[in-house]
Amino acid sequence: MKKIGLIVNPIAGMGGSVGLKGTDGEIYKKAIELGAKPTTPQRIEETLSLIKRKDVYFMVAPDKMGADYIKKFDFKYEVVSEIGEETNATDTKRIVQDMLEKGIDLLIFVGGDGTARDIYDVLDLKTPVVGIPSGVKMFSPVFALSPSAAAEIINTAGNQFIEKEVLDIDEEAFRENKISAKLYGYLKVPKNITLLQAKKEPSNVSKSEEDIKEEIADYLMENLEKETLYILGPGTTLKTIADKMGVEKTLLGIDAVFNGKLVGKDLNEKGLLAIIKKNHKSTIIVTPIGGNGFIFGRASKQFTPEVLKLIEKENIVVVATEDKINKLECLRVDTGDIEVDKSLNGFTKVITGYKKETITEVK
């Protein structure tokens, strides 16, 4: 039997929908005050429902860190260690150490970059992992593309592994609209790179790239419609567009513009739902994350399935420089809702310059 450890960060991703850009430290308490709901149960249950191999024996963390979810299925398992009412990184590290001593062959973890760092602190390169994306900041390439991709990796995992980076993202800086990332270490993952997300690539800030962003902004400005709410996702390309509109942009947040005026700044899910419902027509403008191609489901978790259900697919505008789009296999979505993901799949137009467009697949 293959011994698989399972550990869930129960608060991972809770800051996303309410616009807090993470839940490190005590921020999750503020997220709860703002009405955030746990996202990890749906993510792990989707993965477990798709695991088909029979040669597995799970060693799971207690209660909301693992056992609460696996008991809904028919897997053979045992509970490792104990936890209190509130959990933290110390619990994660202690439980992973206990699993390691019991000889696990693979560790499944559910969370974001912060959870990956905690896992690395114990595992280093001793045992391979599969990361199920459930956080807000998921820039490390140790994560599967989605829960279904994680299940496929587990179903097909053999004895070949590769090392992937764990990135240290400064969450305080992230909340201040700055991405400060450095290499934290490496974890081993099953060798199936088509199902793993790519590492985030930094934005190209060369003069030519800045000129292209200006061209994209100019083209969009010529095609703006009156009485339409424009919702601007995060990123430097969107900031260039906002500058052309004459409004201040939250670099890593979501803002809304109506008839040339900023009507929503750094909006969370609740704010987005309210402002969209007030307007007759709404258009979302987004740019993919460099390297992995996600337009929804990473970093901008305020774009929840409930928000996206209110926006027609043809009213989602994707913009990107040719340099960025040419490095991507496709565009990706992982909203947490399979039906919403399916509605966004297919081919879409991407604006890459002044009167320049390309067609790219969304998966």
At 151 the three-state DSSP class reads helix
Question: Higher model confidence: residue 215 or residue 280?
Answer: 215
Query: Residues 202-217: what's their mean pLDDT?
Result: 78
Same-domain status, 258 and 147: no
Q: Examine the domain organization and report whether 284 and 313 are in the same domain.
A: yes
Question: Is residue 13 in a domain?
Answer: yes
Say which CATH number the domain at 358 has: 3.40.50
Confidence of residue 248 (pLDDT cuts 50, 70, 90): very high
Residue 201 lies in a domain: no
Query: pLDDT tens for residues 11-68?
Result: 775 655 555 555 555 555 665 566 657 688 899 999 999 999 999 999 999 999 999 9
200 lies in a domain?
A: no
* Last-in-domain residue among 164, 195, 226: 195
- 153: domain CATH number? 3.40.50.10330
245: left (phi over 0), alpha (psi -120 to 50) or beta: alpha
153 falls within a domain: yes
Both tokens of 66, joined, read: 């693992």
Does the residue 63 lie in any domain? yes
Read off the tokens for 350: 């991407």
What is the C-alpha separation between 264 and 284, in angstroms, rounded?
Answer: 13
Does one domain contain both 349 and 289?
Answer: yes
Q: List the domain range (segments joined by +) for residue 254.
A: 207-362
Look at residue 210 in the predicted model and tell me its pLDDT.
87
- Per-residue pLDDT tens digits for 87-130: 889 999 999 999 999 999 999 999 988 899 999 999 999 999 99
How high is the mean pLDDT of the chain?
Answer: 88
Question: Is the domain of 104 the same as that of 212?
Answer: no
Note whether 149 and 222 are same-domain residues: no
Q: What is the pLDDT of residues 119-143, one digit of tens each?
A: 999 999 999 999 999 877 778 899 9
Looking at residue 138, what is its pLDDT? 79
Angle at 26 between CA 22 and CA 30, to 5 degrees: 70
> Would residue 65 count as lying in a domain?
yes
Same domain, 160 and 48: yes
Residues 189 and 253 in one domain: no
Tokens for 306? 């409930």
Residue where one domain finishes, among candidates 175, 195, 215: 195
Same-domain check for residues 35 and 143: yes
**Helices 40-49 & 147-156 angle (0-180, nearest 10):** 40
Count of domains forming the chain: 2
pLDDT, tens digit, 9 for 90 and up, residues 145-192: 999 999 999 999 888 999 999 988 766 666 555 666 688 999 999 998
Residue 192's alpha-carbon distances to 144, 183, 211, in angstroms, are 9, 22, 37
Please give the average per-residue pLDDT across 205-216, as a whole number.
81
Q: Are 185 and 234 found together in one domain?
A: no
Q: Which of 195, 219, 236 is the last residue of a domain?
A: 195
Are 220 and 305 found together in one domain? Answer: yes
Q: Is residue 46 part of a domain?
A: yes
Helix and strand numbers (H, E) in the chain are 13, 16
In a domain, 249, yes or no: yes
In the chain, the amino acid numbered 227 is: E
* Residues 154 and 189 placed together within one structural domain of the fold: yes
Q: Convert the pLDDT of each residue in 311-351 to its tens digit.
A: 999 999 999 999 899 889 999 999 999 999 999 999 999 99
Same domain, 30 and 114: yes
pLDDT at 14: 63
Per-residue model confidence (pLDDT) at position 201: 65
| Confidence (pTM) | 0.73
